[in-house]
Amino acid sequence: MPAFSRAATTSAPIEEVWKLLHDPSRFPEWWSGIETVRTDGPDAYTIWPSGYPDFPMAQHLHTEHGGGRVTISCLVSDLAYCWQLSDVGNGTRIEVEVEIPEVEAHRLETQKGLISASLQRLCELAAASASE
């Protein structure tokens, strides 16, 4: 199964990043490729990819029991994004692992680009939120 990971550090405190990761309604602000989000329930929501207003993709969000790991899985394409946050004193380290099913392997390079951009944007948005 194709997979890749990315990591970055932001000056924002961990709670700032946590809020952004747990609030699907704000995904379009930083997650490249997501245009619209509709919340369907406590841990379920639907996204519409950029440029595909007629292509809803149901998602599932949950936190690993150990804490600090947020997994977001796409119920349509089986892509899984696992985000891990850690407090590094004066900022937050963000790591993301992406697993892509074999049938979607052709999306690997696109996903690498999208997630790198998203990670960068997440860091910037969290830092901006933290400022007074």
Q: Establish if 68 lies at the interface with another protein (CB under 8 A).
A: yes
Torsion of CA 125, 126, 131, 132, to 10 degrees: 90
Q: Establish if 72 lies at the interface with another protein (CB under 8 A).
A: no
Question: What element of type H or E holds 72?
Answer: strand 69-74
Q: Establish if 29 lies at the interface with another protein (CB under 8 A).
A: no
Helices (H), 13-132: 14-21, 27-30, 108-130
Task: Report the residue from 1, 3, 40, 76 that binds another protein according to the rule CB under 8 A.
Answer: 40
CB of 41 to another protein, least distance (A): 5
Q: Establish if 39 lies at the interface with another protein (CB under 8 A).
A: yes
Alpha carbon of 58 to those of 76, 121, 129: distances in Å?
6, 23, 28
Q: Establish if 63 lies at the interface with another protein (CB under 8 A).
A: yes
The letter for the amino acid at 11 is: S
**Residues that bind another protein in the complex, under the rule CB under 8 A:** 13-15, 18-19, 22-23, 25, 39-43, 61-68, 85, 87, 129, 132
